[in-house]
Structure 1
C-alpha cells in the first residue's frame, strides 16, 4: 500500500484557495486543454470525499461536434417546452460557445449505509474539485447548470443517461480572455457560530 506524504503547511495552496474565483463562461475561449492536459485535472477532481467508496459520479468530456449537437438539442427542446426564448438562447449558447465542457454526472448508487444526499454532495465536491484543478493548472473555468441538468428527456437524448442520473454541473474550461474583478465575499464572522459547550 502506498503511504501518503505527511501533512505540511502549503501557503501557496492556501493563497490559491483564498483568492480563487470562477471565470465567467462567456469570457472563456479556445484553446482548451487537450486530453493530455485534461487527464491530470480530471484525476485531481475525483479526489473527493466519497463515503463508502461508491463513486456516485461520472465525467463526460464534451468538445467539438458534441457541443454543437447539445446546443441544437437545447434549442429544439427548449422551444418545444415553450420556455422563455431568452432563457433558451442563453442555454444554447452555453454549449455552442464553450471551448470544452465536462459534464459531472451525479449517479447515485444503491446503498443502505450511504444516503443519496451524501452521494449528491460528493458529486458537488467533484464539480468544485474540477474548477479548482483547472484553475490551478492555469485554465479558466466556470460551473453551470440550467434546466437541461435535470430534464429527463434532454439527459436521455443528449448524454444517454439512465433515469436515476442527472448533471450536477457543466464545467466549462478554456483560456480566459479577461480577468474579472472580484465580487464581495461572505463574511465568516456573520456566518459562523463558535460553540464550546
Structure 2
C-alpha cells in the first residue's frame, strides 16, 4: 500500500484481538513514532508498552485513579477493564522539557504525531489500532504510578491488535466545510 492510500484510508479500529504486533513489526511501529516532527530534536516521547499481565497492571492503575476521583463503581470497573480490550496498549507520553524556542505545547503535539505515526505503521503492516484518551490521562496520580516526571503528559493510549471486525470505510468529510482560502 502506498503512503497516500494509507493516509486516505486511515481508520480507527476499536475491536481488536490477538495477535498484537511483535518483533520487527513492532520495532517498525515504534521507529515510526520516533520519526514524528520534532522541532529542536528534543525527542519528547516515551512509549510504555503493556501486553499480557501489563494490561491488567495498567487497568488496576486506571481503576485506582477512578476510585480516587470518586467515580461510580461502573466507571471504576470500566477503567480496570479498558486495557483488556486489545492485546497491546502503548501509553504515549510527552516528555516535554523547558526550552527557549520549543514550547511545551509543541512538544506535546509532537508526541501526538508519534501516536498517529505508530497507528499508521501498524495499519500499513496489517494490524489495527485506535487512539484512546479520557480524563484519567491527565491525573497526576496516574502519572506517579507510571513513574512519570511532573512536566510529563500522557497524550493517549494506542490500542493495537488484529481487527476482529470487517472494516467499514467511512465517507470522506466535506472539504468545503473544513477548508477556506485566505
Asked whether the two chains share a fold, i.e. TM above 0.5, the reply is yes
Call closer, same or farther: CA 1:107–1:18 in 2, change over 3 Å.
same
- Aligned partners of 1:147 and 1:70: how far apart in 2? 15
Q: How well do the aligned residues superpose, as a CA RMSD in angstroms?
A: 1.7
Shift of 1:194: 1.7
Matching of residues 8-157 of structure 1 within 5 Å:
12-24=2-14, 27-157=15-145
- Deviation string 1:76-95 (CA, Å, 9 cap, x unpaired) is 33123211333333322221
- Deviation string 1:54-78 (CA, Å, 9 cap, x unpaired) is 1111111111111111212222331
Shift of 1:116: 1.4
Whether the 8 Å contact between 2:29 and 2:119 is mirrored in structure 1 is no
**SS across alignment from 2:170:** coil
**SS across alignment from 1:138:** coil
- Aligned partners of 1:49 and 1:194: how far apart in 2? 25
Highest Rg: 1 or 2?
Answer: 1
What TM-score results when the alignment is normalised by the length of structure 2? 0.92
Unaligned runs of 5+ in 1: 1-10
**SS across alignment from 1:164:** coil
Whether the 8 Å contact between 1:91 and 1:146 is mirrored in structure 2 is no
Confirm or deny that 1:194 pairs with 2:171.
no
Whether the 8 Å contact between 1:139 and 1:176 is mirrored in structure 2 is yes
How many matched pairs?
A: 182
Shift of 1:96: 2.5
**SS across alignment from 1:49:** coil
Q: 1:4 matched to which residue of 2?
A: none
Moved over 6 A (4+): none
- Aligned partners of 1:132 and 1:54: how far apart in 2? 22
Shift of 1:30: 0.9
Q: 1:3 matched to which residue of 2?
A: none
Unaligned runs of 5+ in 2: none
Shift of 1:14: 1.3
